[in-house]
Structure 1
């Protein structure tokens, strides 16, 4: 097994698409549509975990957030606006360049770094909230990646994981449907063999000292053109893990 989480083919793939991160009608259109449900979930769980007032203008003020595989910063920017001190990391330097430029244009102070999770973990850095969103299915050496991500959760902190289940239905919808039929995503965006089940994520999280607090599904409602939380984890799902 590789001693790094970096998959060069994955880095090259996202580097080629880097300029389109902030185009809601471009190659990342599905992620723009997915962003509201995951951002709402992150905010909801952060408010509850850290006892924050949801009516405050900057309810996450002072909380340290790490977004692993941040891409162009689609999650980093709204979390910074909520008051969090945000660090976004991505091994693709072009993604980080795009993210930095967009944050600067938006007047936001975000610490973007072209780094890997294992490098940040090795530095001893810890965060109140670690975001592991739509990234685990793109890395090599998943056990090392999950250990690195888990190690960076400070005592009392939490990690959120969003990914795709390894089921026949996920293959039909996330690959055949999304990439070949509807063409929501470029062909080859996902590899079904790299999908990971909720039980597998739970085992890795638990092995690394965190407690699984919740697992929820996320499903697309075509009539509303929106993603919503669901009890169905058969395709897309999110997992909340906490350190006591």
Structure 2
């Protein structure tokens, strides 16, 4: 069963809208602050010297703008032209300089070792060939550079949460926005990275600290009565040790 990636074209103008809907609001207000907080901390701890970032599967630019506002020279690439248009429009309206391109992670139009950081977030579970995306990410990353990732584990827990609850039972996510068989385990990802000279350094889970609150607030979430920041308070998403549903981490390209 194919992943419904077409929604990033048909709904691509919604990324930054306050009435964007659950799928974009949860990315913007719940997930993105946590993953960027982790990435930023690791860059600071690692003493990375370069400032060039490639964001593979940039979507509307949530992660790209975080890096750009911290002074990085950012390039974002995504196959959905509508999403890239929304990213460009928002960056221009807010005087954020980012080079956005339309393109696929499997065929990156950049020279070898062009970037100091390559990110691949909310992407691997959507592509046809995750191995090819990892290979291209490693090719364009300089030796000693950081590869950041965030994706969904393939477990019973992820099937219940991502597929059954958010897509089928609640209807808050579009049909086939995710397909369980496309999820990738940390061990599988580690093997792909090792094959491409990316030495895994750390993996962290992403989980809600207030799971009962989500159930209690579900009617308000479905009705759209909760704004993005209220949604973030309800979810209280944080990094932790539980990688059974979503996880993030980083690797360093071997010299």
Provide structure 2 residue ranges, at least 5 long, that are not aligned to the other structure.
214-232
Q: How many residues were matched structurally?
A: 229
Q: CA deviation at 1:9?
A: 6.2
Structure 1 residue aligned with 2:27: 31
CA distance in 1: counterparts of 2:47 and 2:105, whole angstroms = 24
- 2:162 alignment partner, SS class: helix
Contact 2:113 / 2:140 at 8 angstroms: preserved in 1?
A: yes
User: Scaled by the length of structure 2, what TM-score is found?
Assistant: 0.84
Q: Structure 1, residues 118-177: CA drift from partner, whole Å, max 9, x if none?
A: 432663352111111010000012211111112222111111110000001100001111
Q: Which moved more, 1:215-224 or 1:116-125?
A: 116-125
Answer yes or no: is 1:150 the counterpart of 2:138. yes
Structure 1 residue aligned with 2:224: none
Q: CA deviation at 1:185?
A: 1.8
Structure 1 residue aligned with 2:200: 212
CA distance in 1: counterparts of 2:104 and 2:48, whole angstroms = 31
Structure 2 residue aligned with 1:16: 10
Q: Structure 1, residues 207-242: CA drift from partner, whole Å, max 9, x if none?
A: 000100011111012345221011011100012111
User: Scaled by the length of structure 1, what TM-score is found?
Assistant: 0.87
Contact 2:198 / 2:251 at 8 angstroms: preserved in 1?
A: yes
What is the RMSD computed on CA atoms of the aligned residues?
2.0
Answer yes or no: is 1:113 the counterpart of 2:110. no
Provide structure 1 residue ranges, at least 5 long, that are not aligned to the other structure.
1-7, 53-61
Q: CA deviation at 1:201?
A: 0.2
Give the number of the structure with larger relative contact order, counting CA–CA contacts within 8 Å between residues 6 or more apart. Answer: 2
- 1:117 alignment partner, SS class: coil
CA distance in 2: counterparts of 1:184 and 1:46, whole angstroms = 34
Q: Rate the CA distance shift 1:113–1:129 in 2: closer, same or farther, 3 A.
A: same
CA distance in 2: counterparts of 1:64 and 1:97, whole angstroms = 22
Structure 1 residue aligned with 2:243: 233
Structure 2 residue aligned with 1:59: none
